[in-house]
Amino acid sequence: MKQENKIKIFLVDDDAVYLKLLEIEFMEHGDFVIETYPTGERCIEFLSHNPDVIILDYHLDGIDKNAMNGIEALDKIKA
């Protein structure tokens, strides 16, 4: 299937191991385009890639204690 016809999923989690496991799980069980981000800020930075689905961790403070959480990121994404 052409990449432009695939569902594009953004996975956002500050736990690098969990993020990789989640990416592998999606890749093994579907034909998706996956982009992963360690922070909500990075996810928002790349919204121009037009994801179909965004899966956000609620707590995104593992890398930066001042990072926005998943709800704050969701509010900015919706705006």
pLDDT given for residue 38 in this prediction: 93
Tell me what pLDDT residue 17 has.
Answer: 95
**CA gap 34, 72 in Å, rounded:** 22
DSSP states along 42-76: HHHHTGGG--SEEEE-S---SS-TTS--HHHHHHH
Q: Which of 40, 37, 42, 41 is nearest to 9 (CA)?
A: 37
Q: What pLDDT is recorded for position 62?
A: 61
Token readout for 76 is 């900015």
Element (H, E) at 28: helix 16-29
pLDDT in tens, the chain (79 residues): 566 789 999 999 999 999 999 999 999 998 999 999 999 999 999 999 999 999 999 888 766 667 788 888 889 988 8
